[in-house]
Amino acid sequence: VTQNFHLPRAVYTCRQLGVEAIGLGTPDWGKFRQSTMVRYSFREFLAVIKALWETRVTRPKPTFLGPFEGIK
């Protein structure tokens, strides 16, 4: 569950990392001022580019490797 404006990126990133994900978004537009949503949209645009770069090109390793917990 997350805000609609970054739901596609969140689900995409999960799926690229092998996590089966289904997203449920909350309504965003109309709850925030237009200037705030413009700023969030621009930030999200840059975050999408970064997510694509990291999942398709660099594939960085986690920086903290705690004990393995497994996925059931």
Domain boundaries, the chain: 2-58
> CA 51 to CA 8: how far, in whole Å?
11
What pLDDT, on a 0 to 100 scale, did the predictor assign at position 27?
A: 76
Name residues whose C-beta falls within 8 Å of residue 21's C-beta, 6 or more positions apart in sequence: 10, 11, 14, 15
Q: What is residue 51's predicted lDDT score, i.e. its pLDDT?
A: 94
Collapse the DSSP code of 29 into the 3-class scheme (helix H, G, I; strand E, B; otherwise coil) and give the result: strand
Model confidence pLDDT, tens digit, residues 18-62: 899 999 888 766 777 888 888 988 999 999 999 999 999 999 887
The pLDDT of residue 29 is 66
- DSSP for residue 32: B
Of residues 70 and 39, which shows the higher confidence score? Answer: 39
- CA separation for the pair 6, 47 (Å, rounded): 9
